[in-house]
């Protein structure tokens, strides 16, 4: 993590505390009735700018304190770290979070861009964003309430681009929350459902990695995303 998820500062995040724990885990092969035990390690780190704390989890319990930033951050939760969401959207969203506290108009327009990218990734490129969104909602069978969320993001983006008045920070926060809900519906929930169906359709006796009680993989021997021997 190169910047604070709270204040977006890049002054640095430092390790403060670690705690080892033990928990139950299960095989993702549902024909295996055994309950296993895994060692985990929690890290607490602090932003050097705003002083807020972050909590990360190493499910394998092997990472040393200087590698605390390689563990999965579980608080605050980060949309940009969810790999169910396409890379193009994650990168754009992560960039927008860097400026949320500095330039609310630019942040909202960047979130609007994420919506446009979503449409493009679904093969919808013709017409203005209003027409694209209507087609996207129709093709994905998005409920009316969530459709309204997407259109409100579009309207707020238009306001940020054309109006002279600054966007209220309360509205900026709500746009961020609405966008997260939309991404959960379009990408995260389908990914979780696909994983659920995969696990329930696995061949009997097939080797499978252990998973934690909340369905996360247990990484072992200090390995993390991007790890190299």
C-alpha 89, offset from chain centre: 11
pLDDT in the model for residue 20:
95
Which residue is listed with tokens 């909590």? 55
Is the pLDDT at 125 greater than 80? The verdict is yes
pLDDT in the model for residue 72:
86
Question: Higher-confidence residue: 29 or 86?
Answer: 86
**pLDDT digits over 132-165, tens only?**
888 999 999 888 888 888 888 888 888 777 776 7
Closest CA to 218 of 34, 61, 55, 65: 61
Residues 6+ apart with CB under 8 A from 141: none
**pLDDT digits over 39-68, tens only?**
899 999 999 999 999 999 988 888 889 989
Beta bridge partners of 18: 43
Is the pLDDT at 121 greater than 90? The verdict is yes
Residue 21: both structure tokens together: 């724990």
Contact 41, 71 (CB under 8 A): yes
Q: How many CB atoms lie within 10 A of CB 209?
A: 12
Is the pLDDT at 225 greater than 70? The verdict is no
For range 16-40, the mean pLDDT: 89
pLDDT in the model for residue 143:
87
**pLDDT digits over 166-222, tens only?**
788 888 888 898 899 999 999 999 998 998 888 888 777 667 778 888 777 776 555
Is the pLDDT at 229 greater than 60? The verdict is no
Is the pLDDT at 97 greater than 80? The verdict is yes
Which residue is listed with tokens 């006796």? 205
pLDDT in the model for residue 190:
92
Question: Higher-confidence residue: 101 or 81?
Answer: 101
Residues 6+ apart with CB under 8 A from 17: 43, 44
DSSP output for the chain = --S-TTT---S-EEEEEEEEEEEEEEESSTT---EEEEEEEEEEEEETTT--EEEEEETTS---GGGGGGSEEEES--GGG-TTS-HHHHHHHHHHHHTTTT-HHHHHHHHHHHHHHHHHHTT--SS-HHHHHHHHHHHTT--HHHHHHHHHHHHHHHHHHH-SSPPPHHHHHHHHHHHHHHHIIIIIHHHHHHHHHHHHTPPTT----EEETTS-B---TT--TT---
For range 79-90, the mean pLDDT: 86
Closest CA to 14 of 38, 43, 34: 43
Question: What pLDDT band is residue 16 in, cutting at 50, 70 and 90?
Answer: very high
């Amino acid at each position: 993590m190169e910047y604070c998820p709270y204040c977006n500062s890049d002054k640095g995040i430092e390790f403060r505390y670690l705690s080892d724990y033990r928990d139950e885990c299960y095989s993702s092969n549902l024909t295996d009735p055994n309950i296993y035990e895994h060692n985990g390690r929690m890290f607490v780190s602090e932003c050097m700018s705003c002083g807020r704390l972050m909590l990360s989890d190493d499910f394998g319990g092997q990472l040393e304190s200087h590698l605390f930033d390689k563990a999965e951050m579980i608080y605050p939760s980060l949309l940009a770290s969810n790999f169910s969401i396409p890379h193009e959207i994650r990168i754009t969203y992560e960039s927008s979070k860097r400026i949320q506290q500095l330039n609310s108009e630019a942040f909202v327009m960047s979130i609007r861009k994420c919506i446009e990218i979503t449409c493009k990734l679904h093969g919808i490129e013709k017409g203005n964003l209003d027409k694209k969104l209507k087609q996207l909602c129709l093709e994905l069978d998005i409920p009316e309430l969530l459709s309204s969320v997407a259109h409100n993001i579009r309207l707020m983006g238009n306001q940020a681009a054309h109006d002279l008045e600054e966007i209220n920070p309360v509205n900026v926060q709500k746009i961020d929350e609405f966008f997260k809900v939309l991404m959960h519906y379009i990408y995260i929930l389908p990914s979780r459902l696909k994983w659920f169906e995969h696990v329930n359709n696995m061949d009997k006796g097939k080797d499978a990695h252990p998973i934690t009680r909340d369905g996360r993989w247990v990484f072992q021997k200090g390995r993390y995303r991007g790890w190299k021997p």
